[in-house]
A = this chain, B = another copy of it.
């Protein structure tokens, strides 16, 4: 489904990577490795079409994502470093608005259920601004539960989550892949999900090492 060929990226004066190529098919999970600053976030945003590559091409079902435009974003959920939720709205409102815009409107009841499932019972109707770091992350991740987009691009989804939530999220991701979805994710944490039958991609092996 997703094909990447000859991708290269420059930031500032640096060539972060070049000639990057991979392919991802239905039901596959790609784990993107690399040390801090190796360009993982940059690559993920590029796969979403937010950044134009310096060279190379990204194809979805055989067509370039640039040409597809909204026909590509319809199949995509991206959760980045930033949660993309409004602090002044409640969890339920955030979820309902974002899913309507994603093209999958959900009922009020469905939204409450999703938030409860992700462990926010009792906090569904607080403005997300007052929630803790991990709770805010959960609100963002609740989108995964109500969305039926095919391609999930997740940038360090486990950050700030406690163990129970990490477990839950892994189950959700596995389920999605089992149902034929595509997942690309990065994480520095050791999680069982990234072991086993998972594609691996390492970025920036050639970087200068600077450790003690």
A residues near B, CB below 8 A? 11-12, 34-41, 81, 116-123, 126, 130-135, 137-138, 156, 159-166, 168, 171, 188-190, 208-212
Contact = CB atoms under 8 A, between A and B. Distances in A.
A17 to B, nearest CB: 13
A164 B132 contact: no
Contacts of A34: 162
A132 B163 contact: no
Contacts of A41: 132-133
A133 B121 contact: no
Copies of this chain, how many? 2
28 contacts: A12-B126, A34-B162, A35-B134, A35-B162, A35-B164, A36-B132, A36-B160, A36-B161, A36-B162, A37-B123, A37-B131, A37-B134, A40-B132, A41-B133, A117-B212, A118-B212, A119-B209, A119-B210, A119-B211, A120-B210, A133-B156, A134-B188, A156-B160, A159-B160, A164-B211, A166-B188, A171-B212, A189-B189
Nearest to A38: B132
A156 B132 CA distance: 12
Q: Which of A11, A126, A189, A210 has the most CB of B within 10 A?
A: A210
Given A120-B210, A163-B188, 15 more contacts: A36-B133, A36-B135, A36-B160, A36-B161, A36-B165, A37-B131, A37-B132, A38-B132, A116-B210, A117-B212, A121-B210, A159-B160, A164-B209, A168-B211, A190-B190
Contacts of A134: 35-37, 188
